[in-house]
Structure 1
Amino acid sequence: MAEFGTVSIRKMFGGAGVYRDSLMFALVADDVLYLKADAESRKDFDAEGLPPFVYEAAGGKRTVMSYFRAPEACLDDPGQMAEWCRKAYAAALRANKKR
C-alpha cells in the first residue's frame, strides 16, 4: 500500500480496519483483505468475480457488508494495490459525505 499512502490499522471484531485520514476503507478478516465498495465502484469488483465480506451475527443472521475481497493480482503488484485502494478510499469518502 506504500504507493497509496500512509495508512493505519485498528483492531476490531477479531479482524482489523485499515484507515487513511481516519476513514476506514478496507478491512482484514481471517487473513483476507477486503476493500470498500459502493454503487459506483461495485461493478469493478463484480467484473473480477470478487465476493463481499459476510459475517454471521449472533443468532445465525448473515450480514453482507459493502467490502469486497481484494483481487489476488494486486497483492503482488504495488501499482495495482494502490489503484484498488484509491477506488476503495473514494467509495469511503462518498459514503462519509452521505452522513
Structure 2
Amino acid sequence: MAVSDGFLKYVLDQLKLDNITSKKMFGGVGLYCNELMFCLLYEDVVALKIDDTNIKKYIDAGETPIKVFKNRTPIPSYYTVPTSVLENKNVFTVWAKESYQIQLNKNNIS
C-alpha cells in the first residue's frame, strides 16, 4: 500500500518547518528539509531518522524500526513515531528537527 495523498498532506501540515519537499521512494515517501531526508512515510506510518542521541525516547515510547517492502525488512535508522507525537504539531516538529539535525551532523553541515 502506498502513502495516501491525504496522509501525506496531514503529515506536512503537522510540521512547522520550512523548505520541506517530498519524494516518492521505495513504495513510500521521503520527506526532505534542505535536500536532506529526515522522515520516511510508508503505508501511512511515519518514521523519523534516529541515532544514539534520540533513540532512547523512541524505545521508551514502544516504537520500533519502520518495516518496509514485501518482506517487512526493518530500516534500523528510522523509527516509527508515536501517534500522540504526530498529533501534536509542536512535539512532532521538535522530534522532526532532531532528526534533521542528525542528518546535518552526519553530512558535516553546520
Identity of aligned residues (%): 28
Gaps of 5+ in 1: none
Structure-2 separation of matches of 1:94 and 1:31: 28
Structure-2 separation of matches of 1:71 and 1:93: 23
Structure-2 separation of matches of 1:61 and 1:46: 19
Structure-1 separation of matches of 2:73 and 2:41: 18
The normalised TM-score by structure 2 is: 0.75
2:87 to 76, 82, 92: 76
2:29 aligned residue: 16
C-alpha spacing 1:76/1:61, structure 2 compared with 1 (3 Å): closer
Structure ranking higher on relative contact order (CA contacts 8 Å, 6+ apart)? 1
Structure-2 separation of matches of 1:78 and 1:6: 17
Structure-2 separation of matches of 1:65 and 1:46: 12
**Alpha-carbon deviations, 1:41-90, whole Å to 9, x = none?**
11121121111113357xx5944330011121122211111111111111
Gaps of 5+ in 2: 1-13
2:48 aligned residue: 35
Aligned length: 96
1:45 aligned residue: 58
Structure-2 separation of matches of 1:50 and 1:30: 16
2:68 aligned residue: 55
